[in-house]
Amino acid sequence: MRAWTLVLIIVLLALVTPARAQPSEPAAAEPTPSAPTLYERGRAALEAKDGPAARRLFREGLATAAPGEERFRMLLGLALAYELLGEPAWAVLHYRAFAIASEAHPDGATEEWQARRARIAQELGKLEEALA
C-alpha cells in the first residue's frame, strides 16, 4: 500500500511540476529566481491570501529546490496554497509527499522537522477525514 502511495505521489508531482523548456533562442530575460527567493515570495503570497500566486511560486521553487529542507518547505508551501484555494485533495497529496520526503532524508531527522511532521500529521488527518 505504501509503495503505491509513493508511486501515486511521484506521478502526481511530475504532472504538477512545470517542465523545464529549452528556449529556441538565448533569452535576455531575467534569470530564474533562486529557490529561497521563490519560497519567500510564496510565503508573502500566502500571507496576502493570494492562493494562485502562492501555488505558482511554490511550484516554480519545487522545480529548482535542492533535496532536503529546501524541498520540504516548497512541499509545505504548496499544501498550504492548495488549502487556501479550497483544494484539499491536492493539499493532502503535498502533505503526504512532505511526510515521505522528510522521513527519508537526513535533514528530516532534526528535532525541528520531527515536530513539524507531527503537526502536519494532525493536519493531514483532519483533511483526510473531511475528504472521506
- Total domains in the chain come to 1
Q: What's the half-sphere exposure (Cβ side, CA atoms, 13 Å) at 121?
A: 10
Average pLDDT over residues 7-32: 60
User: Cα(74)–Cα(66) distance, rounded to whole angstroms?
Assistant: 10
User: Cα(113)–Cα(132) distance, rounded to whole angstroms?
Assistant: 28
Q: Look at residue 130 and tell me whether its pLDDT is greater than 70.
A: yes
Any idea which residue has 508531482 for its cell?
13
Greatest pairwise CA separation for the chain in angstroms: 50
**Residue 9: per-residue pLDDT:** 64
User: Which DSSP symbol is given to 49?
Assistant: T
Average pLDDT over residues 68-84: 95
- The per-residue DSSP string of 77-93 comes to HHHHHHHHTT-HHHHHH
12 falls within a domain: no
19 falls within a domain: no
* 37 or 10, greater pLDDT: 37
Split at pLDDT 50, 70, 90, the class of 55 is very high
Phi, psi dihedrals of residue 98, rounded to the nearest 5°: -60, -45
114 falls within a domain: yes
**Residue 23: per-residue pLDDT:** 55
39 falls within a domain: yes
**Residue 82: per-residue pLDDT:** 98
The structure's pTM equals 0.75
CATH of the domain at 118: 1.25.40.10
**Residue 25: per-residue pLDDT:** 58
Contact 95, 127 (CB under 8 A): yes
Which residues span the domain enclosing 88?
34-131
